[in-house]
Amino acid sequence: MAILVVAAHDGTAVRANVANAVAAAGQMGSDVAVLVAGSNCGEAAKSAAAIQGVAKVLQAEDAAYANWLAEDIAPLVAKLAPAYSHVVMAADSVGKNLAPRVAALLDVAQISEAIQVVSPDTFVRPIYAGNALATVQTSDKIKVVTIRPTNFKAAPAGGSAPIEQIGGEGAKGLSSYVGAELSKSERPELTSAKIVVSGGRGLGSGENFKILETLADKLGAGLGASRAAVDAGYVPNDYQVGQTGKVVAPDLYIAIGISGAIQHLAGMKDSKTIVAINKDEEAPIFQVADYGIVGDLFQIVPELTAAVEKK
């Protein structure tokens, strides 16, 4: 049966992780439709149509959908859902907010952060901060699933699906959008960066994060942080990597001044290569690091920056 992927977007293009969701959906069945809801979302709908494997794009134009309020979008998704066997979303802040509301409206269970599709009704998902993997099977008629984007290779561009206009449902009047305070950064987006440089409590201050920024810029890397660094106010919360922050799986993850608590490892231990720089030889991060260097980060990081610059 057909599958519905619900795509978050910024008005001009769908989020990069929609291509990962389309790839995951392709493993659950065929005939993948993508829902793009918003106001003036024509460009976003076109970007969805260009993903390979998409059979059809549904464009729902309605002012009520402009800011992804779950109260307004969930009823639309729930209305469309009975024509599909699966409703799939990326497990980002939009998907996590919306998918359970959709599932409850349909009276079905929701599967969170699937990392593997075993069969159309069976999925693998991490539990206990990634320290165990559960294989779960659902008997519900409609399967509402969020997928962890880093575990599915993005579907390539090159598609040309037709775009169908569908009507909106209007606003439900339960909530309204006031505004956003978004972090501005020239660096690659954390969850899709090839290299991530992350700092923890060992940095000592927000000011000291500058040495990480310099290293990140030299490597073309995204900048992340542990919860300790966020709580101490060194960097904004959206830098946080871990069980309660973002999950990343870059080619190279450099953990600097991060001890490696269970909750942090949950967000980065699928990285291809892990480097740890820490003065504490016993820090748990060394148990998962491919390359570790014990010493003062304030000496090592500038040295490393200089060394990668030389090439």
Partner 1 sequence: MKVLVAVKRVIDYNVKIRVKADNTGVETANVKMSMNPFDEIAVEEAIRMKEKGQATEIIVFSAGPAQCQETIRTALAMGADRGVLVQTDAELQPLAVAKLLKAVVDKEQPGLVIVGKQAIDDDSNQTGQMAAALLGWSQGTFANKLNLADGTAEVKREVDGGLENIKIKLPAVITTDLRLNEPRYASLPNIMKAKKKPIETLAPDALGVDVAPRLKVLKVEEPPKRKAGIKVKTVAELVDKLRNEAGVI
DSSP-derived pairing of the beta strands 163-166 and 122-127: unpaired
Rounded CA gap, 113 and 246, in Å? 12
Size of the site for partner 1 (CB under 8 A): 88
Residue 195 is a binding residue for partner 1 (CB under 8 A): yes
3-state secondary structure of 149: helix
* 247 assigned to a ligand binding site: no
Piece of the chain touching partner 1 by CB under 8 A; list 44-52, 58-66, 158-166, 298-306: 298-306
* 293 assigned to a ligand binding site: no
* 11 assigned to a ligand binding site: no
Residue 178 is a binding residue for partner 1 (CB under 8 A): yes
Which DSSP category does 246 fall into? B
The DSSP bridge partners found for residue 89 are: 146
Binds partner 1 (CB under 8 A): choice among 22, 34, 37, 108: 108
Q: Which residues contact 62 (CB under 8 A, 6 or more apart)?
A: 37, 38, 39, 167, 168, 169, 170
Residue 171 is a binding residue for partner 1 (CB under 8 A): no
* 263 assigned to a ligand binding site: yes
| Element of type H or E holding 49 | helix 42-49
Contacts 24+ apart (CB under 8 A), 107-112: 108/138, 108/140, 108/141, 108/142, 108/143, 108/144, 109/138, 109/140, 109/144, 110/144, 110/145, 110/146, 111/136, 111/138, 111/143, 111/144, 111/145, 111/146, 112/146
Residue 163 or 206: the one with the smaller Cβ distance to partner 1 is 206
Residue 27 is a binding residue for partner 1 (CB under 8 A): no
Two tokens at 309?
């610059």
Binds partner 1 (CB under 8 A): choice among 164, 280, 290, 296: 290
Binds partner 1 (CB under 8 A): choice among 47, 246, 257, 283: 246
Which residues within the stretch 1-20 sit at the binding site for partner 1 (CB under 8 A)?
A: none
Residue 100 is a binding residue for partner 1 (CB under 8 A): yes
Residue 137 is a binding residue for partner 1 (CB under 8 A): yes
Which residues within the stretch 42-71 sit at the binding site for partner 1 (CB under 8 A)?
A: 67, 69-71
Residue 291 is a binding residue for partner 1 (CB under 8 A): yes
* 185 assigned to a ligand binding site: no
Annotated binding site for FAD: 201, 226-227, 240-244, 257-264, 278
